[in-house]
Amino acid sequence: MTAGRLSALGGCCACVLCGCGGGSHAKAVVIAQRSARGLHASAVASATAAQPGSMVVRITAAPEQRVSGSWALTCRQSTSSSRDADDFAGRAPLTVAIRPFGSPGDTCTVVGTARLARSGRVKVELLAG
């Protein structure tokens, strides 16, 4: 892949991640996912995005059951950083909105976690759009 194509691809991905130009027409894109299985299985997904727009954590479980988890969003801009986080619990499948946060020029890291109440398989997805 040439440098020009790679740069254009990076620019397109940045627009999808930050929700630029699409408004509510932008489709949610999975930017990270992890899964685990077993008794009280726990999974952690994380991603880095420039100027993130709307983001959610989506949790699925098989068999469907109660899950608990959290999300955290940390943004850095040159010399300062800021953080927001929250805990959640409910019956899977579960989608939790991440509060909008950050400023233009920020680089943000988002982390989503989930843990099963019983035995099974859990999947954590981070979506931006």
For residue 8, the model assigns a pLDDT of 38
Domain total of the chain: 1
**Token digits for 37?**
């299985």
The one-character DSSP state at 22 is T
Spatial CB neighbours of 78, under 8 Å, sequence gap ≥ 6: 105
Quote the domain boundaries for residue 122: 3-128
Asked if residue 75 lies in contact with residue 107, where contact means CB atoms within 8 angstroms, the answer is yes
Look at residues 17, 13, 12 and name the one whose alpha carbon lies nearest to residue 127.
17
Look at residues 13, 12, 30, 39 and name the one whose alpha carbon lies nearest to residue 124.
30
For position 118, which CATH number holds? 2.60.120
For residue 101, the model assigns a pLDDT of 75
Q: What are 48's strand-pairing partners?
A: 109
pLDDT digits 0-9 by tens, 47-60? 998 766 789 999 99
For residue 54, the model assigns a pLDDT of 84
Give pTM, 2 decimals: 0.76
For residue 76, the model assigns a pLDDT of 84
Q: What is the DSSP string of 27-53?
A: PPEEEEEEEEEEET-EEEEEEEEES--
Average pLDDT of adjacent 10-residue blocks, the chain of 129 residues: 39 42 64 97 93 87 98 86 94 93 81 98 94
